[in-house]
Structure formats: structure tokens, C-alpha cells
Amino acid sequence: MKFGTARRITANFASLATAEITSKIVQALIFIYLARFLGKNDFGIFSFSISFSLIFMILADFGMGTLFVREISRKKEQASKFFSHGLAIKAVLAAISLALGYTFLNIMGYPQRTVYVACIMLMFAALQSFTELHFSIFRAFEKMNYEMLLKIVRILSIAGLVLYLTKNGHGIIAASLVFPLTEFIILIFAFIIVNAKFAKVDPRLDFEFSKSILKESYILFFSLLFATLYLYVDVVMLSKMRTNAEVGIYSAASNIIIALIFVPLMYANSIYPTISRFYITSKKSLAWVYEKSFKYMFVLGCPIAAGLFILADKIINFLYGQQYAQSAAVLMVWSGYILLKFLNPVSGYTLLATDQQHKRLAGQGAAAAINIMLNFILIPAYGIIGAAFATLITEIIFTAIYCSFMAKFGINFKFLKKFSYKVIIAVLAMATILPYIGNLAAAIIVGASVYIAVIFLLRVIDDEDKNLFNRVARNT
């Protein structure tokens, strides 16, 4: 059973990995290009607009995407009912979100140019919210290959259009318009696939069923709201408390982190349907999946965090140039944050899959509140470095909260003793060599080689892991 589960998780992870790696790499390249093309001030406006739109469009999602994955994975015969009602509910909530976002921009007195870009990105976020509802159907049926295809088409289309428009003299407004226009086309294709293969739209709506969806998803809504606030509110706060140039500098570093966060989030999404089933059928298998997942994210996150800290100056200079040199200090602070961010999604999605939404919500609510409070204190005094430390401190507290919840659920973290010290030794071996390598590419290659060699030398990947990998590779 374990090997069959591992193959299923691996297949889903491979599909999501292909989509996310392609999307995040190309997205990062788009943002790097725009940062260089637009300059710090306009890139600050663009970055604020994205963060702002993602926060305000949380209402449109209302946690339905996550709820649908859990419920449809258990009751696939109700997929059409969930899908149809989800579209109707989302249409109402998206309209409310757009109105609230526009009102907020005007009340806060943002310049007209900033309002234009922010409204364009609000439209993009609204359309993307509908697309994500379709993706939740793919995930519930564990057919992530459709999501993979659409995400790759989306990001490559955006990249091509942004490059074409900017090369022909167009600026931030035209570049921003590419995002909602592309998303609209992707949404149409997603709807065609879902309606043809998984869940046909039924115009007959049940008000009581809609109410039940909202009742079930409101905790997930607040969970998503708190998580999004935690991730993006610092940029919005910086936009009012500091300059657009500082927002641009800060966002240059945050884009690197956000591009890396997709790895643990992608993996957590892949195991979520499996853990949801195991909560019903086998608690022992659930614990096995959790411990293996935590181990692999720890092994992967540690060298990335160390590499970011040591190579921050080289990374920023290579990607953005000297005008963004101050971003390196932010990236160094966030190297600790990225390690914890590799670990926490495994716990978060396990809490969700085991019907402990209230605990997940409590942890995320505490993190959002702490982060906002720390930003209010640290940004006026220390600017972008203060915002970076606010995020790091919050994530440390957040990790402690999640681990305490998992311990109460029955997860014994003693399994970390078997391999954690060996991973630290491998990281130290890598860190000893990196400062002496001047070329960034060479540093990454040599550092990764040293780390992997020590990991295998110390047998961090044990016989059970090797057997698991071999069985998965042979599809047996």
C-alpha cells in the first residue's frame, strides 16, 4: 500500500513540479525583466499592485478550492454539484471583492497611476480565482497533468506578450494588461476540460447546498486570508509607509523567496488528497507519509537556506544589477524564513486533511496578527530590513505553533534525531566552500555537489528511502 501511495504522490508531484517549476522560473524571469525595464519606482508600483490584488481577492476564493479538493476526493460523484455551486458563489464574491478593492484604493489616496495598475491586477486576480476553482477539480481527481498544461501555456503566453509590448515601447500599464487578458483565455480552456471530463455545469442551484458550502469553507477562508495577509501585507504596508523605490528593492528579494516557496507548497498539494483518505482509512499510513514528507523537505530546505545567505550579494547582482544591491540584505534575513517555509506546509495541510481546520486557522491568525504588529513597529524604524525581520520572527513563532499542534495530534518529532544532525554537517561542509568560489554558477554547482555527497556519505537517505525511490521509479 505504501509503495502504491508513493507512486500516486510522485505522479501528481511530477505533474505539479513540471508546471510549477516552469511557471515559477518564467515568472521570476518576467519579474526580473520588469524590474530592470521599469526601474525601482515603477517596479514598486507593479509589486504593490500584485500583493494588493491577491489580498483583496481572497474573499472570492472563500476557501472553496481547498474544500473542494478534500470533499470531491472523498465523494467524486458530487463533483458536478460542487463545481456548479462554486462558480455561482464565486461570481458574487468576486464582484464584491472588486468593489471593495477599488474603494480601498481611493480611500487611501493612492496616485491615479497606481490605481490604474492595481485595478488591472485586481481583474487578473479575480479571473485567476475562477481558474483555481477548476484546478481544484483536477487535484481532487488526481489529474494534475491538466493543471500542468494550462499553467505552462499561461506563463509562456504572459512572457511572450510582456516582452513584445515592452520591446515596442509600451510601459507598465500595457505590461499589466497582459495578465488579465491571458488569464481569461486560460479560464475558458480550463472550463472546457472540466465540463467535458470531470464535472458538467448544472444550472439548477440549491440555495441550501450553497449555504452548506459557505458554512464548511468559512474557516478555510479565514485560514487563506491570514496566510495571504502574512505573505503580502508587508508590501502593502511599505507602499504607504516608505517609497515606491523601497517597495521595488524589497520586492526584488521577495520574488526570489516566493519563487522558491512553490516547492513545499507543490509537494503539500500533492500529498493532500492522500492524507485526506488516510485520515479515514489508516492513521499509521498517515503518520508515515507525514514523517517522510517532513524529512525530505528538511533535507531540501537546509542547503537552499544556507546558499541564499552566503550567496545573497552575488544572486542579487546577477539577477537585478547594482541598482537593487540593497535587496541582498533582505535576502540574507529571509534565508532563515525559507527553511521554515519548506517545513510548515506539510504540517498545515496535514492539519487540514485531518479536519483540524480550527487549529490551522488559529496558527495562521496568530501569525498574521504578529506580522502586522511587527511591521508597524519595525518598518518606520528600519525600513525594508525591519519588514524582513518581521517576517522571519513571525515564521519562527508560526513553526513552534504548528509543531505543538502536530505533537498533540500524535506526531512524535523524535524521528528528526535520526537525520537532522547529519543534514547540518552536510550544510556546514557546503558553507565552508562557498565563500571561496567567485562565480555564482560554479558556487551553486560545487555547493550542491558537496552537500549531496555528504548526505549520501552519512546515509541520510537510508535503505527504506532508497527502496521507496526504486519502487517508485520502476512503477511497481
Residue 476 has a pLDDT of 41
pLDDT tens string 22-46: 777 888 888 888 888 888 889 899 9
pLDDT greater than 60 at residue 474: no
Distance CA 343, CA 333 (A): 18
Residues in contact with 15: Cβ distance below 8 Å, sequence separation at least 6, in sequence order: 144, 145, 147, 148
Distance CA 42, CA 451 (A): 39
Residue 139: pLDDT band with limits 50, 70, 90: confident
Residue 249: pLDDT band with limits 50, 70, 90: very high
For the record, the C-alpha cell of 372 comes out as 502586522
Most confident of 173-177, 254-258, 463-467: 173-177
Residue 1 has a pLDDT of 43
Residue 391: pLDDT band with limits 50, 70, 90: very high
For the record, the C-alpha cell of 189 comes out as 480552456
Using an 8 Å Cβ cutoff, are 193 and 144 in contact?
no
Residue 357: pLDDT band with limits 50, 70, 90: low
pLDDT tens string 302-356: 999 999 999 999 999 999 988 899 999 999 999 999 999 998 888 877 777 776 7
Say which residue, 140 or 123, is predicted with more confidence: 123
Using an 8 Å Cβ cutoff, are 51 and 232 in contact?
yes
Q: What percent of the chain has pLDDT over 70?
A: 91
- Cα separation values, 36 from 62, 191, 285, 375, Å: 36, 36, 49, 27
Distance CA 382, CA 396 (A): 20
Distance CA 251, CA 215 (A): 36
What are the sequence ranges of the domains in the chain?
A: 2-419+460-474
For the record, the C-alpha cell of 217 comes out as 469553507
Using an 8 Å Cβ cutoff, are 256 and 47 in contact?
no
Using an 8 Å Cβ cutoff, are 269 and 13 in contact?
no
pLDDT greater than 70 at residue 472: no
Mean pLDDT on 168-174: 87
